[in-house]
Structure 1
Amino acid sequence: MADKRRIDEATGTSTVGHEWDGIEELNTPLPRWWLWTFYASIVWAAGYVVLYPAWPMLNSATQGMLGWTSRGALDREMEAQAARRAPINSAIAATALTDLPAKPELMQAAVQGGAAAFRVHCVQCHGAGGAGVKKLYPSLTDDDWLWGGDLASIEYTIAHGIRNPDHKATRTSQMPAFGRDGILDATQIADVVSHVRVISKQEKPSAAAARGQVLFQANCAVCHGATGAGDRTVGAPKLTDAVWLYGGDRDSLTATIVQPRNGVMPRWAHRIDPVTVKMLATYVYSLGGGEKAAPQLANDEGQGANGQP
């Protein structure tokens, strides 16, 4: 085949020798800057392959002459942060939990550390601000605590969880399934619901509520107390206010009495270190619920010790 390349008169550049319906292509050389950039990229890539992990192998990868890994870099950063926090963590560890509120700076550091841990381990259920999810997970910002809202009680709950069957120290309570197991019939359950709604100031007294009071004393007062005020020693909730995890309307109360939920919470003592458990307890304590006499500490979410903006 004859060589059809020629010099273009207008540009002085050779053509590539191909023609498409009278259209020819110039064989314009690549710009020198682009060519040298391309060669430099090749050299850089070759150097990277030699110096850093690059080629996947059957069970691992090439290590590279520098021995650098992103995991190793992260480990070094984590170690540096741990070393930086070591003095304050040691001080928190050496201070009794109940003594922390009397040391504002140390308490503040514990609250901030607990807030960081809370965002990693707890927000999935309790929400970013600890407000919980209705009918699923309890709020940590009100005054209703099944097991107590003081620092020691909160720490114990975090450490040992609730209803962990493989852990003897876990918090455990069990409400009978009054409807499912036939302890009470539908009419009796309706009467108990009426009584509970009366003591929680949602309904006015009625004949049904009077009958329900008798049933309540016989079946429920042993845990919830004669007045429905609850009992934190056995994890029985208070029934006389407007705070309801699973709802205080008639349908929700009926469902709870027929077949209780008996929710669970993971235990954290075997997953995170004791200082972090202590800091988590101080953060939850700072959200505002439970019995306390804590100083007004501003945490990193812009709330005071009572959980108010």
Structure 2
Amino acid sequence: MTKREVDEVTGVETTGHEWDGIRELDNPMPRWWLWTWYATIAWALAYAIAYPAWPLISSSTSGMLEWSSRGAFWQENASVEAGRQSIIDAIKAKDVNEIAGDETLRQYAIAGGAAAFKVNCVQCHGSGAQGAPGFPNLNDDDWLWGGTLDDILLTIQHGVRFEEDDDTRMSQMPAYADVLEPQEIRDVAAYVVSLNGTPRDASHVPAGEQVFADNCAVCHGEDAKGIRDFGAPNLTDAIWFYGSGEDAIMRQVEHPQHGVMPAWGERLGDATVKQLAVYVHSLGGGE
């Protein structure tokens, strides 16, 4: 065995390595470092035995403690739900007007309704409930079926034109393309625009008013302000589902679009739909 060189200054053997004339001393590792290293190895072994650690083909070792982060989550979640149960039971037992009259329940319902809205409603009504073409803005005070708490709750529970629910809100505007002459459709579009704006040709308005009275007033009302029993919109304001202007109105008269809203009562349960109703009503447009 070749004897390694000893450094003259320190009297310590070298490792035999040398870089640019600098030799490496073969000092032992500090004892505290070694014990720390041994401790980490022992800790890793104990952890691998006690907790889930080793991946298998379709699962992993469960560990002697049988603990998992998923199990801990569901346990904590169950604890939170148990704490909320008394409030949920109170919401189930009361109608929406009683919930709105109880400040504690109202605040809880608004918070819970906001969470449920973000999961189930934003896809159509938008993250701020501002709506989109064909989907109503829930912040204003223009309501097709009524904006009271009871009205909103009924709409959420049973939906709109949702055929799987026997109590759904149902309205159907007929297509007038095969009923009215093209000129009559242009006339009635000019009349509807004249209710809150200026038509392209005002000479069409008198004839359009007669067409409206003969065909449209039965649902939209003689004053064109809509009839909620039919879900017929107010045509005298500046709020439009499918676009304003004569061209958009003519398209809707000829071949009307009919949106569908699912019934959420069975899907979400009584407590959640009540919370949604209170939340929507609180946005500022509720009556």
TM-score between both structures, scaled by the size of structure 1? 0.77
Partner of 1:271: 267
Query: Which amino acid letter does the alignment assign opposite residue 271 of structure 1?
Result: R
1:21 to 1:178, Cα distance in 2 relative to 1, 3 A: farther
**Structure-2 separation of matches of 1:28 and 1:94:** 78
Which of 225, 228, 236 is the equivalent residue of 2:224?
A: 228
Equivalent positions of 1:50-61 (< 5 A) are 50-61=49-60
Corresponding residue of 1:241: 237
Mapped pair 1:152 → 2:157: no
Is residue 280–residue 286 contact of structure 2 (8 Å, CA) maintained in 1? no
TM-score, normalised by the number of residues in structure 2: 0.83
Contact 1:15 / 1:27 at 8 angstroms: preserved in 2? yes
Corresponding residue for 1:139? 137
* Higher helix content, 1 or 2: 2
Q: Which runs of 5+ in 2 are unaligned?
A: none
Identity of aligned residues (%): 49
What are the Cα deviations for residues 88-135 of structure 1, in whole angstroms up to 9, with x where unaligned?
222222222233344344333333332333233333432343222x31
Deviation at 1:251, TM superposition (A): 4.0
Q: How does 1:102-121 map to 2 (within 5 A)?
A: 102-121=101-120
Match of 2:61 in 1: 62
Q: Contact 1:130–1:140 (CA<8 Å) still a contact in 2?
A: yes
Q: Could you give the per-residue CA deviations for residues 238-273 of structure 1, whole angstroms, max 9, x where no partner exists? A: 111112233323343344334433222232222222
- Measured against aligned partners, the alpha-carbon deviations of 1:215-254 in whole angstroms (never above 9, x if no partner) come to 3233333322222211222222111111223332334334
Q: Matches of 1:286 and 1:30 in 2, distance apart?
A: 69
Q: Report what 1:49 is aligned to.
A: 48
SS at 1:53 equivalent: coil
Distance in 1, Cα, partners of 2:245 & 2:11:
90
Give the whole-Å Cα distance in 2 for the aligned partners of 1:10 and 1:136: 89
* Cα 1:60/1:143, change in 2 over 3 Å: same
Aligned to 2:171: 173
> Secondary structure of the equivalent of 1:284?
helix
Cα displacement (A) at 1:207:
1.7
In structure 2, the residue matched to 1:295 is none
Query: Tell me, which stretches of 5 or more residues in structure 1 are unaligned?
Result: 292-309
One-letter code aligned to 1:228: A
Task: Kindly name which structure, 1 or 2, has the bigger radius of gyration based on alpha carbons.
Answer: 2
Q: Equivalents in 1 of 2:100, 2:278: separation in Å?
A: 9
CA distance in 2, matches of 1:129, 1:222: 34
Residue number in structure 2 paired with 1:202: 197
In structure 2, how many angstroms separate the alpha carbons of the residues matched to 1:35 and 1:250? Answer: 85
Partners in 2 of 1:136 and 1:26 — Cα distance? 80
- Per the TM alignment, residue 28 of structure 1 is displaced from its structure 2 partner at its CA by 6.2
Letter in 2 for 1:227: D
Displacement of 1:278? 0.9
Indicate conservation of the 8 Å contact 1:123/1:130, yes or no.
yes
Q: Which amino acid aligns with 1:85?
A: R
Instruction: Identify which range, 115-124 or 9-18, moves more after superposition.
Output: 9-18
Equivalent residue of 2:266, what SS? coil
Aligned equivalents of 2:253, 2:27: Cα separation in 1:
85
Aligned to 2:252: 256
The verdict on how the C-alpha distance between 1:222 and 1:42 changes in structure 2, with shifts beyond 3 A counting, is farther
Aligned-residue offset at 1:178? 3.6
Q: CA deviation at 1:154?
A: 0.9
1:280 aligned onto 2:276: yes
Amino acid at match of 2:237: D
The total of aligned residue pairs comes to 286
